[in-house]
Amino acid sequence: MSSFIDLTATLRLPRAPDEEDARALAAAAKAGGFHTVVVSARGQEAVDVDSLSALLRELEGHGVRLIPALAPVVGTELADVVSMVKSLPAGTPRVLRLRAAIDDALLLRRIGDLARGLDALVIVPSHDAALMKGALAVEGAVATRLGLSGVPEASEHIAISRILEVSKLTGARFHIAGVFTERGAALIESAGDPHVSGSVFASHLCFDDSALLTFRYETRVLTRPPLPTSSSRIALRAAVKRGALLASSGHHFIPKRERDLEMNRATPGMTSLASAARILGLPIAPTPFSPADLLRALSSGPAAALGIPAPDLSSDPSRSAAVVDDLFRLANDFGGGT
């Protein structure tokens, strides 16, 4: 049995043969050891009953549980969101995913009120939208040297502070996806709010912004949020090890043709779901991760955030062990280390 849960996968509507469809995503999830994936559909209207129904039908029978995340946006009617959430099959966790960061605290409060009423988890980006606009890297020496627009690390602190306060105000559950700074991780941990969890993307555990210098102007190292600084990456890994942050694939499939673009035109995203599982193997070799750390970060932690039972690892421990063993093997294939 696969045992991992991914909270933040993104599915593109197929536009070309090399783009990922639901079938490909499900296959990748199985290969990567994921049994549950929360998926948003890009390029789709926020509330589109027909598209969502078609997506769910397509995802049936692939052996992977896929939970659709709805995307309330400005202009969406409250009644539409409610009716959409209620149309999900019984027992399906309710998830609202904000595609873009929301700087407006009043709007965030309304979404929190809505989510609490629906008992839905709200997955939110970790940054402030205004400060992130146009950013390709975290502000600092690397961004300055390469002439890339930077986002200040304070962007995350501001956004997480706002989310924590709105959670207190509304009682809604929030999951902050894509934490990329040491201060952001520390803020979530120190708040100790049971309604607020955070996760860091696999790419951000494995690479820091020095990769931008190594792979100069290559779009495969372009991520949203940008790759962390070296010190933040170390702190993020330590936070995952302590259980203060969850790990997530940060899945964002990019067609090969977009790899040829200039950085300011390319879609950020470096990992597929399967390759995320592979690179998540990197931090466990040789340490600081233990297999137990990794399983918690990728299974029971996300399950708690979603409000669903944790995957039953005891039903087939040899398979779970095989998955973890496989990650160690892959880690060795990558040469191990950091």
Interface residue with another protein, options 26, 143, 247, 327 (CB under 8 A): 143
Q: How far is CA 298 from the centre of its chain?
A: 11
Q: Which stretch binds another protein (CB under 8 A): 7-15, 61-69, 190-198, 256-264?
A: 256-264
Q: Which stretch binds another protein (CB under 8 A): 29-37, 69-77, 149-157, 276-284?
A: 149-157
Give the residue with the Cβ less far from another protein, 137 or 202. Answer: 137
CA angle in degrees (0–180, nearest 5) for 303-284-302: 10
Interface residue with another protein, options 44, 51, 76, 149 (CB under 8 A): 149
Using CB under 8 A as the binding rule, whether residue 262 contacts another protein is answered as yes
Q: Which stretch binds another protein (CB under 8 A): 11-19, 32-40, 263-271, 281-289?
A: 263-271
Give the residue with the Cβ less far from another protein, 152 or 288. Answer: 152
Site string for another protein, 150-189 (x = CB under 8 A): x-x-------------------------------------
Using CB under 8 A as the binding rule, whether residue 140 contacts another protein is answered as yes
Interface residue with another protein, options 98, 102, 111, 142 (CB under 8 A): 142
Give the residue with the Cβ less far from another protein, 66 or 138. Answer: 138
Using CB under 8 A as the binding rule, whether residue 303 contacts another protein is answered as no
Q: Nearest approach, Cβ of 217 to another protein (angstroms)?
A: 3
Using CB under 8 A as the binding rule, whether residue 190 contacts another protein is answered as no
Using CB under 8 A as the binding rule, whether residue 96 contacts another protein is answered as no
Q: If DSSP states are collapsed to H, E and C, what string results for the chain? A: CCCEEEEEEEEECCCCCCCCCHHHHHHHHHHCCEEEEEEEEECCCCCCHHHHHHHHHHHCCCCCEEEECECCCCCCCHHHHHHHHHCCCCCCCCEEECCCCCCCHHHHHHHHHHHHHHCCEEEEECCCHHHHCCCCEECCHHHHHHCCCEECCHHHHHHHHHHHHHHHHHCCEEEEECCCCHHHHHHHHHHCCCCEEEEEEHHHHHCCCHHHHHCCCCHHHCCCCCCCCHHHHHHHHHHHHHCCCEEECCCCCCCHHHHHCCCCCCCCCCCCHHHHHHHHCHHHCCCCCCHHHHHHHHHHHHHHHHCCCCCCHHHCHHHHHHHHHHHHHHHHHCCCCC
Using CB under 8 A as the binding rule, whether residue 144 contacts another protein is answered as yes
Q: Nearest approach, Cβ of 87 to another protein (angstroms)?
A: 38
Surface-to-core class of residue 313, CB atoms within 10 Å of its CB (0-12 exposed, 13-18 middle, 19+ buried): middle
Binding-site size for another protein (CB under 8 A) equals: 23
Q: Which stretch binds another protein (CB under 8 A): 5-13, 257-265, 292-300, 306-314?
A: 257-265
Question: Which residues, numbered 206-225, are part of the site for another protein (CB under 8 A)?
Answer: 216-217
Q: Please report, as ranges, the residues that interact with another protein according to CB under 8 A.
A: 130, 139-150, 152, 216-217, 257, 260-265
